[in-house]
């Protein structure tokens, strides 16, 4: 299964090359990334992310990490004066696009899903929204998430997934033909959106992602489909008592 996170097109991509490819993609589309998300999903991604934020159920004193948080749209939904919210993302350009001149109760830190600049067992809740499919190795990333979560801490992973069978032909046609054209017209980088669509196509389906989480010793694993399975929220916990 780890090979699914290392392939692009019809050839194998080594982890260093894949990491460079992903960083190049997000560097080029950073300034129009949120706009493209609105156009590609007709704004529905904001509803999915609000549902994710509701599921986080943030509490006073918590440390909440939004991994691969990009421009910080999820982090701003869960921030508050009584808790610490940190965006960790490998793309400095994406974080700069999110910070801009706006002040918010969000901290920002460069780091990857495979190597976060955090001590062991310090995070109450970790979210990752449409970012897990871009890691160089999904098993390594899940192990790192396990490492930084406190016992009783939770992972909430929102990602594109496999839609219901009647919807798949239309969804795949939209992805293959419409989104790259939007990428060309709006973001001016159609090749970047070819990569993003390919990463969606190769990502594990709902049940396989559940198995990957369970294989990494996560417990209380379940998922919730959005928009007939186009997106899916995976929830899992590191076993133990929350502090």
- pTM confidence score: 0.84
Instruction: Go through the domains of the chain in sequence order and give each one's CATH number.
Output: 2-237 (3.40.50.150)
pLDDT greater at residue 62 or residue 104: 62
pLDDT tens digits for range 7-36:
333 334 445 555 666 666 656 655 666 666
Is the C-alpha dihedral spanning 13, 180, 99, 124 positive or negative?
Answer: negative
pLDDT tens digits for range 58-99:
999 999 999 999 889 999 999 999 999 999 998 888 898 888
**Category of 188 on φ-ψ map: left (φ > 0), alpha (ψ -120 to 50) or beta:** left
pLDDT tens digits for range 138-170:
999 999 999 999 999 999 999 999 999 999 999
- Residue 134: which pLDDT band, with cuts at 50, 70 and 90? confident
- The DSSP bridge partners found for residue 128 are 67, 157
Residue pair 4/138 in contact (Cβ under 8 Å)? The answer is yes
3-state helix, strand, coil in the chain (%, to 5): 50, 25, 30
């Amino acid at each position: 299964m780890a090979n699914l996170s290392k392939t692009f097109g019809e050839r194998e991509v080594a982890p260093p090359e894949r990491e460079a490819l992903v960083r190049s993609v997000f560097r080029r589309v950073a300034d129009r990334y949120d706009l493209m998300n609105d156009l590609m999903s007709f704004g529905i991604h904001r509803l999915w992310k609000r549902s994710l934020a509701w599921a986080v159920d943030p509490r006073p004193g918590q440390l909440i990490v939004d991994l691969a948080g990009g421009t910080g749209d999820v982090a701003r939904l869960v921030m508050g004066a009584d808790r610490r919210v940190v965006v960790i993302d490998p793309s400095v350009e994406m974080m700069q696009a999110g910070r801009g001149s706006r002040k918010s109760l969000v901290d920002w830190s460069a780091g990857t899903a495979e190597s976060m600049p955090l001590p062991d067992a310090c995070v109450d809740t970790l979210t990752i929204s449409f970012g897990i499919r871009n890691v160089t190795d999904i098993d390594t990333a899940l192990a790192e998430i396990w490492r930084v979560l406190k016992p009783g801490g939770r992972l909430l992973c929102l990602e594109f997934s496999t839609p219901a069978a009647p919807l798949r032909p239309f969804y795949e046609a939209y992805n293959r033909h419409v989104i790259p054209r939007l990428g060309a017209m709006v973001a001016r980088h159609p090749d970047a959106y070819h990569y993003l669509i390919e990463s969606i196509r190769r990502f594990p389906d709902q049940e396989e992602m559940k198995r990957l989480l369970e294989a990494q010793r996560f417990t209380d694993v379940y998922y919730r489909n959005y928009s007939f399975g186009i997106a899916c929220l995976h929830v899992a916990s590191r076993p133990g008592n929350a502090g």
